[in-house]
Amino acid sequence: MSGGVDSSTAAFILKSAGHEVVGLSMQMYDNLANADTAYGGCCTIDDLADARRVAWKLDIPHFTLNLEQNFHEKVITPFVQSYLSGLTPSPCVLCNTHVKFDLFHEKARAIGAEKIATGHYARITRDAAGRFELRKALHLAKDQSYFLFELTQEQLGGALFPLGEMTKPEVRDVAEEAGLVVARKKESYEICFVPQKESYAAIVEREAAVAPGDGAGEIVGVGGNVIGTHDGYYHFTIGQRRGLDIGGTAERMYVVDVNPFTKRVVVGEASDLERDELIAERVHWIGEPPSGPIEIQARVRSRSADVAATVTPMVDGRARVQFAQKLRAVAPGQAVVFYDDDLCLGGGWILRG
């Protein structure tokens, strides 16, 4: 229970269906370290208080688990290292894989829970052989299957997604009818551990003890010509346009590459961002892995559209993904997720080209 309307409504639905429900919340970072700053997402002090209020309303036990150390190790540290390596991190996938459906699941089993339920917008089904399948939510605008592509058969078998066939307005209406105080609570789309008054770069500098200016370097064009300077290469990600203080160019310029070794940020036109293939590593298949190339739909960012592609398995858990059309801003460090219509097949992590 994060203190938001989704997990609160999921708890209400399960309690109403006659299940014995226990509310568990996760404290995943030090809320008091920057007490004068509002955080950008879930699991703040106020959110945990909302979760307790909902649990009291539903008359269910509620406990808060301190997962700060694990969250820091599995999510924040890789987030920082990604920026320092010139990559674009995807902390929400890491949180789901390593915290919510790993350590958190273990804690839930330890208190005797048979299943864990969350407020994710996704669905779990089974195929003819009895294997668990991950499918998109019926409300596609809220679908969160992209963030869950690394879940295993065991994890899917122990999970419930009560909101998978509901729309967001329906969820809010159910919460309001149930008298839950979070029914109209505002949604957040920011990364939870990044305070609203800070930038991602500030998190990197604080966590890695990087002094401002240590990452300074040149901004260059795709041909290598120097056209400006920057205060830190970790301020930039592939496809970024804002923050490029270069002026004097006829076309809009975008970040095409970030080189952590030379500290150079390479910029170019929109066409310079286009790619029609990528290599993914640490590829995970939810069902049976394919023995050869397969036709799928692929998504390279959580909010981007699915596009037709061919995935060819390679050695060492890698795969080549070839797109039927050129895509812009394919960012190394992000996840590429594979689909067959609404069925999530799995995915992998985009390597630097």
Which tokens belong to 209?
Answer: 């003890």
Which of the residues 42, 92, 95, 344 is marked catalytic?
A: 95
Distances (CA, A) of 181 to 22, 25, 72: 18, 17, 30
Q: Where are the beta strands (DSSP E) in the chain?
A: 23-27, 62-66, 116-117, 122-126, 132-136, 159-160, 217-221, 226-230, 254-259, 264-268, 275-285, 294-299, 307-313, 319-327, 335-340, 343-350
Radius of gyration of the chain, Cα coordinates, nearest whole angstrom: 21
Which of the residues 42, 43, 92, 192 is marked catalytic?
A: 192
Q: Which residues contact 102 (CB under 8 A, 6 or more apart)?
A: 155
Q: Tell me whether residue 42 is one of the annotated catalytic residues.
A: no
Q: Are the C-beta atoms of 216 and 263 separated by less than 8 Å?
A: yes
Q: Tell me whether residue 192 is one of the annotated catalytic residues.
A: yes
User: In 3-state terms, what secondary structure has residue 308?
Assistant: strand
Q: Which residues are catalytic?
A: 95, 192
